[in-house]
Amino acid sequence: MLNIRVKWGKEAFEVPVDLSAPGASLKASLEKLTGVPASRQKIMGVKGGSLRDDVLLSEVGLSESKPLMLIGTAETAPSKPTEVLQFAEDSTAQGHQETEVMSNGLVNLGNTCYFNSVLQVLRVVPELRKRLESSPAGLAKAMSALYKQLDSTRDKVSPTHAWAALMAQNPQFAQTTDRGFPMQHDAQEALSTVFSAVNELECEDPLFRGETVNGANQQEPFTMLRCMIAQDVQILEAGIERGLGTGAEGRKLSSLPQYLMVHMARFAWRQDTNENAKVLRPVSFPQVLDVFSLCTADLQRQLEPARTSLKQQRESEGRIKKVGAPDTDPESAPKRSPDPVSGWYELAGVVSHKSRTLDSGHYIAWAKKAGRWLVFDDDKVAQVSEEDVSRLRGVGEAHIALVLLYRCRDPITGRAAVVDERVALSGA
């Protein structure tokens, strides 16, 4: 008999196996432990890829030091394991207060935290979820089904079908390690793959797509702006401006999306270590981003009436949003016509990463729901403060923001975030 380790999502088990038995016997044991039917199990980490029912266990390279990975969704409640192993990445972040059940998490299928974080950030875009419902197949349809499943339960959900659809959309995400485990990938690349599927559904009123124009009046669409991080870049706006370029080839924003995605370009290739290393320089990002100065003169003229009107509304209400001031609860705000796109964007989501290299570490999501910030660490959900989110600018070895999601208005109230420049400059 040989005791092997098998990891399933966030759980791990020690399983005694008879090496003279076929693979089907191991699957039967795992079905009792996890509730995943043997016919739906995919066991990775053995010779030849996934474990077959008829192959002898003595022929697949099992050892006590080499863990296997089980992929599959349980149909019944699993039996209580004799021993559950705790992995370092499974521990909750210190200082986070566990929430009441306001939202639920996603099971990590094995280095799939990058995809889980993207799914949770996009979950705060209700317009996207409506458009996903019209997709007949593929990744968009799988995401729609997953979001409906998340809404129908308070329990954690396994994104098995959505992950399979992601691999079908872009085969690079199907790559495995030498041990047969799924490889870690860049969350920004996963987000780009999602956008390639979502863009097929984009209508005349795009959610994420904007346009830039250069000095030669050449238009170029975008779904994500790049924040270039250099020694003299300390704030997000400066990094975006650097990413747009200068001179004749420099670009300005000529049309704005409803949701603005920003990629923090934190990884650069190091020849001495032969790896994509993270640039740890702190870059602050605001809770309310103003892109007016990055727009073309024509677009600025179009935005001016909306900006003037919104300022007057907030002044008459006595509720001009001050930098750092607490948000009002959008659920209690009166329903009204949606505010127009103004060039002001409110931070609504963040994908962060913790590690010095691109191909390692851990991704988590931060999302603003009903005026409260939540952190989604795979299947663990906790409430955090706005200050916790601001620390993602880059402090030591902690999590650092890689992707920022800004919205032009709150999807519940239709209200746009407004910053009075006089207040911002005075620091009041």
User: What's the CATH number where 163 sits?
Assistant: 3.90.70.10
Q: Are residues 81 and 129 located together in one domain of the fold?
A: no
Domain that holds residue 418: 103-426
In DSSP terms, which residues pair with 219 in a beta bridge? 213
Neighbours of 328 (CB within 10 A): 13
Q: What confidence score (pLDDT) does residue 219 get?
A: 92
The answer to the question of residue 94 being in a domain is no
Picking from 53, 86, 119, the residue at the C-terminal end of a domain is 86
Whether residue 21 is contained in a domain is answered as yes
CB 29, CB 43: distance < 8 Å? no
The pLDDT of residue 46 is: 80
Residues 116 and 73 reside in one and the same domain: no
Question: Does any domain span residue 367?
Answer: yes
State the DSSP string of 261-324.
EEEEE-EEEETTTTEEEE-----B--SEEE-GGGB-HHHHHHHHHHHHHHHHHHHHHT-PBPTT
Note whether residue 263 is domain-resident: yes
Q: Give the Cα separation of 402 and 238 in Å (integer).
A: 16
Q: What is the CATH number of the domain that holds 6?
A: 3.10.20.90
Residues 23, 150, single domain; the answer is no
Q: List pLDDT tens digits, range 215-272.
A: 888 999 999 999 998 888 899 999 999 999 876 678 999 999 999 999 998 876 666 6
Residue 91 counted as domain residue:
no
pLDDT value for 428: 30
Six token digits for residue 420: 């009075």
Q: Is residue 93 part of a domain?
A: no
Helix (H) or strand (E) holding 144: helix 138-151
Residue spans of the chain under pLDDT 70: 10, 75-102, 200-204, 247-248, 268-277, 318-337, 356-359, 396, 419-428
Residue 377 lies in a domain: yes
143 and 82 in a common domain: no
- Using only C-alpha atoms, the chain has a radius of gyration, in whole angstroms, of 24
* Shared-domain flag, residues 233 and 344: yes
Task: Sheet with 251-255: list strands edge to edge.
Answer: 219-222, 210-214, 251-255
What's the longest Cα–Cα distance across the chain?
80
Asked whether residue 348 falls in the same domain as residue 385, the answer is yes
Q: Which of 60, 86, 112 is the last residue of a domain?
A: 86
Listed residues 86, 121, 136: the one ending a domain? 86
CA atoms within 13 A on the CB side of 320: 17
Same domain, residue pair 82 and 107: no
Domain identity same for 187 and 325: yes
Same domain as 107, residue 79: no
Query: Is the backbone of residue 53 left (phi > 0), alpha (psi -120 to 50) or beta?
Result: alpha
Buried-exposed string 24-47: b where 16+ CB fall within 10 A, e elsewhere: ebbbebbbebbbbebeebebbbbe
Residue 97 lies in a domain: no
Q: Are residues 326 and 386 in the same domain?
A: yes
If asked whether residues 38 and 144 sit together in one domain, one would say no
Q: What is the tally of structural domains in the chain?
A: 2
Is the same domain home to 305 and 342? Answer: yes
